[in-house]
């Protein structure tokens, strides 16, 4: 017997991937409901062989639902996730609204599956930021062997991380450059086509952005509060797939060969690391895949116990939809899901 699942944000980048992944992973779904805003009432989305018509969030009865995969942005989550959780279903929330709430587990199943146990307090489980999710999958197995002291990360984040509007903006600007000149930036603060933008989110008083702060706070919540993380987040003109240049300093020895061996055995990780011109992964190759790819693993000659590596993953999958469905699988496997009365 399966579950009654609602995907909120079903017309979005992440929502569509959620439906693909529920099908791909054969998650036991009895009935799936596609939910979006009022403007999408009746809009058709596909779930396997089926075509579903979207329903409006504010008219939907969640009391008959077992699992809600929530992916409609932070403002919608702040207004709705707690209410939905109180109505019965467990909410797996993709936004940043509840990630740092002490009563809400923040989960990457390969990293901290046992932390899920506290989820009944609010009936909400948070999914991390897309850049954090792939980072922690690569850091955790190394931290288990030689404690990590400090991490320096520079991200190369695709435009799909900013939703379907972000993809449209890159597409329209790219076409425009060759015709009448690119249209004015709307979503991104500067032209993204043929450019890179070292600013994602909003500025904090200390000069970092909230996107950068999410990465260190979430890494500390999921792995270890003693890990120091410093970040520069950059938007690049790539449609799907986030990349990260990661420098790690350990408390105890860890060299490139040991790291490669550890990562080869690590859940969710695929090491592609040949010292030849095509022996690494690019975001294009990560698109549609489930793995967190680690390439270019090499000793850092400037510190005693340091490594550099290149980490790439599909931000719509491990960074969002796949991780959310894996959380649902984790709950199912541990017998933690209850079924609402139909
Ligand atoms: N993209 C990523 O890499 C990524 C990674 C991790 C987390 N996330 C998070 O996932 C969420 C969605 O991202 P996305 O990339 O899928 O965005 P998106 O492509 O812009 O889609 C947004 C979705 O939210 C729905 N929505 C907006 N306002 C709504 C409302 N008032 N009521 C009900 N539904 C509403 C939209 O429905 P309509 O079509 O009806 O407007 C659409 O289905 C965000 O919280 C984002 O931070 C994204």
8 A C-beta contact, residue 305 and residue 254:
yes
Dist. CA 320 → ligand 1 center (Å): 11
Dist. CA 70 → ligand 1 center (Å): 9
Residue 54 annotated to the active site: no
What would the two tokens of residue 42 be?
């009746």
Q: What is the pLDDT of residue 340?
A: 79
Residue 251 annotated to the active site: no
DSSP state at residue 203:
B
Residues 67-83: tens digit of each pLDDT: 999 999 999 999 999 99
- Lookup result for tokens 């009448």: 180
Please work out whether the CB of residue 20 comes within 6 Å of at least one atom of ligand 1.
no
Q: What is the pLDDT of residue 313?
A: 98
- Lookup result for tokens 């288990």: 144
Exposure string of 21-30, with b = 16+ CB inside 10 Å and e = fewer, is bbbeeebebe
What average pLDDT does the chain have? 97
Please work out whether the CB of residue 132 comes within 6 Å of at least one atom of ligand 1.
no
Dist. CA 217 → ligand 1 center (Å): 22
Specify the pTM. Answer: 0.96
Of the candidates 269, 262, 257, 258, the residue with the CA atom closest to the CA atom of residue 294: 269
In whole angstroms, give the CA distance from residue 14 to residue 262. Answer: 31
8 A C-beta contact, residue 247 and residue 135:
no
Using alpha carbons, list the distances in angstroms from residue 122 to 81, 85, 192, 325, 338: 9, 6, 39, 19, 15
Please work out whether the CB of residue 313 comes within 6 Å of at least one atom of ligand 1.
no
Please work out whether the CB of residue 59 comes within 6 Å of at least one atom of ligand 1.
no
Please work out whether the CB of residue 37 comes within 6 Å of at least one atom of ligand 1.
yes
Dist. CA 9 → ligand 1 center (Å): 5
Residue 178's pLDDT band, with cuts at 50, 70 and 90, is confident
Residue 153's pLDDT band, with cuts at 50, 70 and 90, is very high
């Amino acid at each position: 017997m399966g579950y009654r699942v609602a995907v909120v944000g079903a017309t979005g980048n992440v929502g569509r991937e959620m439906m693909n992944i529920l099908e791909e992973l054969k998650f036991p779904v009895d009935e799936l409901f596609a939910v979006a805003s009022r403007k999408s009432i009746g809009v058709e989305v596909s779930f396997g062989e089926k075509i579903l018509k979207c329903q409006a969030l504010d008219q939907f009865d969640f009391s008959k639902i077992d699992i809600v995969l929530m992916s409609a942005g932070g403002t919608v989550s702040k207004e709705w996730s707690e209410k939905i959780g109180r109505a019965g279903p467990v909410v797996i929330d993709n936004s940043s609204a509840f990630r740092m709430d002490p009563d809400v587990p923040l989960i990457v199943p390969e990293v901290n599956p046992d932390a899920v146990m506290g989820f009944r307090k609010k009936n909400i489980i948070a999914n991390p930021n897309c850049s954090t999710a792939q980072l922690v999958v690569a850091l955790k197995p190394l931290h288990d062997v030689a404690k990590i002291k400090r991490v320096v990360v520079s991200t190369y984040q695709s435009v799909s991380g900013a939703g379907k509007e972000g993809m449209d903006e890159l597409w329209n600007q790219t076409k425009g450059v060759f015709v009448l000149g690119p249209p004015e930036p709307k979503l991104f603060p500067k032209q993204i086509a043929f450019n890179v933008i070292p600013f994602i989110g909003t500025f904090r008083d200390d000069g970092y952005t909230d996107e950068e702060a999410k990465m260190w706070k979430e890494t500390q919540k999921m792995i270890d509060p003693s890990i120091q993380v410093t970040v520069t987040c950059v938007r690049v003109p790539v449609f799907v797939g986030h990349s990260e240049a990661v420098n790690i300093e350990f408390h105890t020895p860890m060299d490139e060969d040991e790291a490669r061996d550890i990562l080869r055995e690590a859940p969710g990780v695929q090491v592609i690391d040949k010292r030849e011109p095509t022996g690494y992964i690019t975001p294009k190759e990560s698109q549609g895949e489930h793995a967190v790819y680690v390439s270019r693993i090499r000793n850092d000659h400037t510190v005693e116990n340091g490594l550099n590596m290149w980490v790439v993953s599909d931000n719509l999958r491990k960074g969002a939809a796949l991780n959310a469905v894996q959380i649902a699988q984790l709950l199912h496997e541990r017998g933690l899901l209850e079924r609402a009365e139909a």
